């Protein structure tokens, strides 16, 4: 089914945030679908020029663990691949889509998390950009899916463009996304793909763990060796090679870090 992208005005979004606890939080606590639909009516919601093929997201209650992130990142990115990166930074877009087109997913997410600690904070992360500009892109629950899909999509792999998406999302995708994609270096897609590919290569050889500490360790290394302009000159293969060299140097003891950090990064320690 082809539908248009949806968004609201910045003024409505700011009004909604300012009055959230009093006027709007109750309808989410009550999971009142009709009330939410009445708030996001045709006077509030606007349709954009971009049309896309809609596919429903997998509901969190239907799958085990966090596998829904991997599945839904591919669904959202496939559907909205024609969004520009500028459009994909707009809070008004993701906020409106979550409350309209993907309302089933939102309500299911609420049902899964309702009653848990910090529920209101989690709800705000579902709906809003609550952190810095870059971190919010991988925190708001719908935006996060698109950006994980975008950052891990490998057009060079003709047999499976999502091979690195599958790997990245295998363990704590949300934590890794915030740690890894908030880096100024990984704004360069090839740079990010090179690091993920290197970690997978070393993981397949039972050297390193696929978790956020590994990504942070490599980010810190590149942050140390050069500025953005220098690193932007590196090819993807050079990033792969440098990342593998770094991991192997850590494994053979050439690079020294705290034992606690080492255990979080390396296998068999």
- Tokens at 214, concatenated: 């590994």
| Distance, CA of 1 to CA of 259 (rounded, Å) | 53
> What's the Cα-to-Cα distance from 133 to each of 19, 70, 137, 139, 178, rounded to whole Å?
22, 23, 7, 10, 12
Three-state SS at 256: coil
Residue 173 burial (CB count, 10 A): 23
**DSSP class of 62:** G
The dihedral sign for the CA sequence 201, 206, 210, 216: negative
Q: What is the pLDDT along the chain (269 residues), one digit of tens a residue?
A: 899 999 999 999 999 999 999 999 999 999 999 999 999 998 999 999 999 999 999 999 999 888 999 999 999 999 999 999 999 999 999 999 999 999 999 999 999 998 888 899 999 999 999 988 889 999 999 999 999 999 999 999 999 999 999 999 999 999 999 999 987 778 889 999 999 999 999 999 999 999 999 999 999 998 887 665 566 788 999 999 999 999 999 999 999 999 999 999 999 87
Q: Strand runs (DSSP E) across 8-124, as ranges?
A: 46-53
Expressed in angstroms, the distance from the first to the final Cα of the chain is: 51
């Amino acid at each position: 089914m082809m539908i248009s992208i949806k968004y609201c005005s910045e003024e409505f979004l700011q009004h909604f945030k300012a009055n959230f606890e009093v006027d709007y939080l109750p309808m989410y606590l009550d999971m009142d679908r009709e009330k939410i639909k009445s708030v996001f009516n045709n006077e509030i919601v606007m349709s954009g020029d971009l049309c896309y093929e809609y596919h429903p997201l997998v509901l969190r209650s239907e799958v085990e663990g966090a596998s829904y992130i991997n599945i839904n990142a591919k669904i959202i990115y496939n559907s909205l691949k024609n969004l520009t990166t500028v459009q994909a930074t707009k809070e008004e877009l993701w906020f409106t889509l979550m409350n309209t087109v993907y309302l089933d997913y939102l309500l299911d997410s609420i049902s899964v998390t309702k009653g848990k600690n910090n529920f209101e904070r989690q709800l705000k992360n579902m709906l809003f950009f609550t952190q810095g500009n870059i971190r919010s892109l991988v925190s708001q629950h719908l935006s996060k899916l698109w950006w994980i899909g975008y950052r891990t999509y490998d057009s060079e792999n003709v047999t499976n463009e999502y091979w690195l998406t599958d790997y990245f999302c295998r363990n704590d995708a949300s934590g890794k996304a915030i740690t890894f994609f908030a880096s100024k270096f990984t704004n360069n897609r090839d740079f990010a793909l090179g690091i993920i590919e290197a970690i997978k290569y070393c993981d397949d050889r039972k050297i390193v763990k696929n978790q956020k500490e590994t990504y942070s360790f490599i980010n810190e290394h590149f942050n140390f060796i050069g500025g953005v302009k220098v690193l932007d000159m590196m090819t993807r293969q050079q990033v792969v090679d440098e990342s593998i060299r770094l991991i192997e140097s850590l494994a053979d003891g050439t690079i020294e870090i705290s034992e606690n950090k080492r255990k979080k990064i390396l296998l068999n320690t």
